[in-house]
């Protein structure tokens, strides 16, 4: 019997209610009883998530999404980051402890982000397993973090290099980065990513083949290139700590609002390099490479500045958060997660300053949970696509067939293309579209899932149409109309999260951690 109908569905709903209700109550009690702030904050997240689950059972999906976006996705993350990413005040210097929880946050967000992609209607565009019933409302939370999750990762990587250089020469640094970054990238490209690709092919009933590629590990190659390119500059700065660059930065940051000057190179980069698909198109794009390079260098500079940077972000954290939330609402409501690139860059960095500012303000002792996650999160990220595809294959309905399309349309907001009725993901059925010129009108034969429509596209006075074509083949899954429901999709989303994260941690605990020759392949040091 299909979940969501009949007596079986009622029983499952009752069980789900009591599990969520009891978990929420226990978590709420733990919040006020535990003395450890880290664990209390984690139980607060569980309590908030439980309330969202109750809203879903009441068919109040909008309230559930608001609960997830505002309380689970924003407030709880900031609280966790504030508790964990702190300075060691007793020593009076920024501690390496800041980088570790930040890395946990960045990689953890990436894993959850990828799980969320499965439940988006465009998942197949980036070769993800796709749910029969998309849950587009999850994009509210994804859209909140999407513009700063990758910059945060590259900033942290730059910070990590700065810390590593304090006890290594350039040869030792390159050797260490090769072991920690290059070796996992090579291993993952030939073994981890092909396995996840095989699971994707099996789910969609495609011909299986061995396809070595970087996949979700693309950023590791970027980071290693950054280390090679910037290593000479970094060691010059290290040998001359009183250099002109750091002196200028120190002087500028006497005025905390001057932090926003760091956004200028990123605005220039976005305006010159960002693709039509949007600012968040990072993976394997020139935009992702140059953005990462700038963020990597910026992270190194931030750590080199020491207390000057931390004092600056501490002083502006409240203002930054107060500005970031309205900017997000404007981007979501007015621009439909698009909008001017310069405004997107500014919002991205305001979120980053808020996160670093709150993290630097609060003090907490290291915990066993933090120590464990700091070692587990990197191998978990390398492995997570395998467990994500396994979980999705086990829980989700498989497509009845798969269509292949060659040309996919990308449409810019408020463009003539959008006003003509085109949407992102429309598929061109006529290959002659490649001859289309943006300064002339054209009749497009467009296929939208199962409906074919003819659209006459006329440019505006400047010859602008706002339509771009991607000539990459896509496999479009076709599902039975009765495969699933929106209610079931929320349950599936929760289950895929639980199974994916549990599988990653179990694999780390019983394989990576305990098998000596496994550890270097996942960037874990042998002790």
Q: Is the pLDDT higher at 207 or at 293? A: 293
* CATH number for region 407-471: 2.30.42.10
Distance of alpha carbon 146 from alpha carbon 339, whole angstroms: 14
Cross-strand partners of 468: 410
Task: Work out the angle between the directed axes of helices 341-361 and 99-117 (0-180°, nearest 10).
Answer: 130
- Are 359 and 98 in contact, with CB atoms under 8 Å apart? yes
Give the length of the chain. Answer: 527
- The CA distance from 242 to 262, in Å, is 20
The model's confidence at residue 95, banded by pLDDT at 50, 70 and 90, is very low
Question: Distance (Å, rounded) from C-alpha 228 to C-alpha 177?
Answer: 10
Q: What is the mean pLDDT of residues 368-393?
A: 87
Q: What is the CA radius of gyration of the chain?
A: 24
Tell me the per-residue pLDDT of 479-506, one tens digit each, with 9 for 90 and over: 877 666 666 788 888 889 889 989 999 9
Note the pLDDT tens digit of each residue in 48-90: 777 877 777 777 766 777 666 666 665 666 665 555 544 443 3
Measured distance CA(36)–CA(43) in Å, rounded: 11
Mean pLDDT of 103-131: 83
**Cβ-contact 422, 382 below 8 angstroms:** no
User: For 294-309, how does the pLDDT look when each residue is reduced to its tens digit (9 = 90+)?
Assistant: 999 999 998 888 788 8
What stretches of 219-314 adopt beta strand conformation (E)? none
Q: List the domain boundaries for the chain.
A: 85-399+488-522, 407-471
Separation between Cα atoms, residue 461 and residue 122, nearest integer Å: 32
The residue-averaged pLDDT of 148-159 equals 90
Contacts of 104 (CB under 8 A, 6+ apart): 84, 370, 373, 374, 377
Give the whole-angstrom CA distance, residue 220 versus residue 385. 15
Q: Mapping DSSP to helix (H, G, I), strand (E, B) and coil, where does residue 371 land?
A: helix
Q: Which two tokens stand for residue 216?
A: 């979700």
Which pLDDT value is given to residue 82? 58
Average pLDDT over residues 427-442: 70
Identify the DSSP state of 93: B
Q: What is the rounded average pLDDT of the residues 463-475?
A: 78
Q: Kindly indicate the confidence band of residue 154, based on its pLDDT and cuts at 50, 70 and 90.
A: very high
Residue 21: the pLDDT is 79
User: Which range, 42-46, 162-166, 185-189, 420-424, has the best average confidence (pLDDT)?
Assistant: 185-189
- Per-residue pLDDT, 315: 87
What pLDDT band is residue 364 in, cutting at 50, 70 and 90? Answer: very low
Q: What whole-number distance in Å separates Cα of residue 221 and Cα of residue 229?
A: 12
- In the three-class reduction of DSSP (H, G, I as helix; E, B as strand; rest coil), residue 474 is classed as strand
Specify the pLDDT at position 12.
61
pLDDT tens for 300-335 read 998 888 788 888 888 888 888 889 988 988 888 888
- Sorting pLDDT into bands at 50, 70 and 90, what band is 384? very high
Q: What is the mean pLDDT of the chain?
A: 80
Helix (H, G, I), strand (E, B) or coil at 449: coil
* Reported pTM: 0.74
């Amino acid at each position: 019997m299909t979940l969501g109908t009949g007596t079986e569905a009622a029983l499952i709903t009752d069980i789900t209610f009591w599990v969520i209700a009891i978990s929420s109550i226990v978590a709420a009690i733990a919040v006020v009883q535990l003395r450890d702030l880290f664990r209390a904050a984690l139980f607060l997240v569980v309590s908030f998530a439980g309330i969202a689950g109750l809203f879903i059972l009441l068919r109040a999906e909008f309230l559930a999404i608001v609960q997830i976006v505002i309380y689970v996705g924003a407030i709880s993350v900031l609280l966790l980051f504030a508790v964990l990413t702190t300075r060691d005040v007793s020593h009076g210097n920024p501690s390496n402890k800041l980088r570790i929880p930040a890395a946990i946050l960045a990689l953890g967000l990436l894993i959850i982000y990828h799980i969320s992609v499965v439940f988006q209607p465009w998942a197949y565009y980036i070769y993800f397993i796709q749910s029969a019933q998309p849950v587009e409302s999850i994009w509210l939370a994804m859209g909140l973090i999407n513009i700063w999750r990758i910059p945060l990762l590259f900033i942290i990587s730059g910070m990590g290099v700065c810390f590593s250089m304090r006890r290594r020469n350039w040869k030792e640094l390159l050797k260490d980065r090769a072991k920690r970054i290059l070796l996992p990238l090579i291993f993952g490209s030939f073994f981890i990513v092909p396995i996840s690709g095989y699971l994707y092919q099996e789910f969609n009933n495609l011909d299986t083949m061995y396809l070595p590629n970087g996949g979700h590990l693309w950023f590791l190659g970027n980071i290693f290139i950054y280390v090679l390119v910037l290593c000479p500059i970094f060691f010059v700065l290290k040998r001359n700590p009183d250099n002109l660059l750091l002196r200028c930065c120190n002087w500028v940051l006497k005025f905390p609002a001057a932090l926003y000057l760091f956004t200028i190179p990123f605005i220039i980069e976005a305006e010159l390099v960002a693709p039509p698909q949007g600012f968040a198109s990072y993976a394997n794009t020139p935009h992702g490479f140059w953005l990462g390079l700038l963020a990597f260098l910026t992270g190194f500079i931030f750590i080199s500045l020491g207390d000057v940077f931390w004092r600056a972000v501490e002083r502006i954290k409240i203002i930054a958060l107060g500005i970031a939330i309205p900017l997000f609402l404007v981007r979501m409501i007015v621009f439909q997660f698009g909008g001017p690139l310069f405004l997107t860059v500014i919002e991205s960095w305001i979120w980053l300053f808020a996160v670093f500012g709150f993290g630097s303000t609060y003090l907490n002792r290291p915990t066993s949970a933090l120590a464990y996650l700091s070692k587990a999160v990197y191998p978990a990220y390398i492995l997570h696509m395998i467990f994500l595809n396994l979980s999705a294959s086990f829980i989700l309905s498989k497509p009845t067939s798969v269509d292949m399309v060659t040309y996919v349309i990308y449409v810019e907001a408020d463009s003539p293309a959008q006003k003509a009725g085109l949407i992102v993901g429309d598929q061109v059925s006529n290959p002659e579209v490649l001859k289309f010129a943006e300064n002339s009108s054209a009749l497009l034969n467009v296929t939208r899932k199962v409906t074919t429509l003819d659209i006459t596209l006329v440019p505006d006075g400047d010859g602008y149409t706002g339509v771009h074509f991607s000539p990459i083949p896509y496999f479009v899954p076709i599902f039975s109309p009765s495969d699933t429901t929106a209610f079931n999709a929320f349950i599936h989303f929760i289950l895929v999260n639980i199974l994916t994260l549990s599988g990653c941690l179990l694999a780390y605990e019983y394989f990576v951690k305990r098998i000596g020759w496994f550890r270097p392949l996942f960037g874990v040091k042998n002790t």
